[in-house]
Chain A
């Protein structure tokens, strides 16, 4: 009897939640919190979405974008804690949402975030200087293996995607690099062009200018399939001409960085669904396609269970690296 009543109440509650899901609509200005400083990849991602929402009037309320990039973005994710339950704070980031709490003592936990969606996967490539003697990724890895800990791998920041990828690369191939952290992909690119490091793993967007200028050259892409063919970047080659790292003989199946959107935990039911719906529409506009193509990312809309599965997998993979490298803080 009581159990049945409980069930009935449960259904009722679920029904009401469902109604709310249909009904939740913003009634005041929304703040988009960017977990990078102005000009960063996440900043461009957020402002692109904001401009598309405004152009197609997908949300009636005004949107204010604020940059909270301090502490590798931790400052932005902290909003989930300080504004718990506030559906007017939408947080834009990458996989550092769930990876940062491993490597630094922070005031928020991953459980303080409500997942909304991931809209794109940014790709990683292995780059060397244009006049380097290596024809293929395999050549380069063999050269590094022959003289361990003399080749320098540049990357942006520490204990972040670039260093994680470098660590994975070392583990699967046995090639030991000296990892040098710089500030941002732009600085890393300049260092490679000047021959001060031997390689880096910049995103396509970060190094397209230098590839065009004939200063650097990509060896392989850490993606399960080749990048889509676009207009040629140099005289002779375009993105689709770059082999996947697996083709090139490096057994790293994929390494990609999701561009993610979150809400604080404890937001009213339906708020996450509302934003998910809006973002889904954003991802179907021609402007979004243009952005994805221009920045050579992979457009892939993840939400609900597909997002959960992706996060769980990525989390597991990165956690293994963090544990092996001893980066995890207690």
Chain B
């Protein structure tokens, strides 16, 4: 189980890091006040500071239960059952992204649909295959043929000469 305070603390830490990265990036361009107004880095610099400081404050508030037990007591962020559902949904999406970048979006989405429907949801292979094949085809017709927008393609499309 992920407790609420753990999630709060993790998010605050992540945002604090983003704040620090922003500050470092901004320092490269000068963060002062020149005769013609603020320098290019000034604005992101102060935004980074706000993100950092507010996140530190949020993080401290999240860490309070360590000092005063019972403040967040029993507040779950994710119960084990929910965790399974969320990961079961999100990890295949990660697979979709990786497959799409390697094989193109059409192949990626076909694999993703087939995979989630058959392996995860125990959907009949034939029906799942039908959905997995018609969706990319319809997407191709709509996006590339009707609206003439180029889609992310992979080796299969190169082979087919599309």
Contacts and interface: CB of A to CB of B under 8 A. Distances in A.
Interface of A: 27-29, 31, 64, 66
Nearest to B144: A64
Given A28-B161, A64-B148, 7 more contacts: A27-B161, A28-B162, A29-B162, A31-B150, A64-B149, A64-B150, A66-B150
Contacts of A27: 161
A68 to B, nearest CB: 11
Contacts of A66: 150
A323 to B, nearest CB: 20
A31 B148 CA distance: 11
A327 to B, nearest CB: 13
Nearest to B148: A64
Nearest to A31: B150
Interface string B151-162: 000000000011
Interface of B: 148-150, 161-162
Contacts, number: 9
A31 to B, nearest CB: 6
B150 to A, nearest CB: 5
A23 B150 CA distance: 27
Nearest to A28: B161
A29 B150 CA distance: 10
Contacts of B161: 27-28
A29 B161 CA distance: 8
- Sorted nearest first, the 5 A-B pairs with minimum C-beta distance are A64-B150, A28-B161, A66-B150, A31-B150, A64-B148
A194 B150 CA distance: 41
A27 B161 CA distance: 9
Contacts of B148: 64
9 contacts: A27-B161, A28-B161, A28-B162, A29-B162, A31-B150, A64-B148, A64-B149, A64-B150, A66-B150
Contacts of B150: 31, 64, 66
Nearest to A63: B148
A278 to B, nearest CB: 20
A64 B148 CA distance: 7
A149 B7 CA distance: 55
A171 B90 CA distance: 60
B138 to A, nearest CB: 19
A64 B162 CA distance: 12
A28 B149 CA distance: 16
A182 B150 CA distance: 31
A31 B152 CA distance: 13
A66 B149 CA distance: 8
A66 B144 CA distance: 12
A45 B150 CA distance: 20
Contacts of B162: 28-29
Contacts of A31: 150
Contacts of A64: 148-150
A260 B146 CA distance: 29
Contacts of A29: 162
Contacts of B149: 64
Nearest to B161: A28
Nearest to A180: B36
A4 to B, nearest CB: 43
A83 B162 CA distance: 17
Contacts of A28: 161-162
A29 B162 CA distance: 7
A29 B151 CA distance: 13
A28 B158 CA distance: 9
A28 B162 CA distance: 7
Nearest to B36: A178
B59 to A, nearest CB: 34
A28 B161 CA distance: 6
Nearest to A64: B150
A31 B161 CA distance: 14
A27 B162 CA distance: 10
A161 to B, nearest CB: 20
B160 to A, nearest CB: 10
Nearest to A65: B148
B159 to A, nearest CB: 11
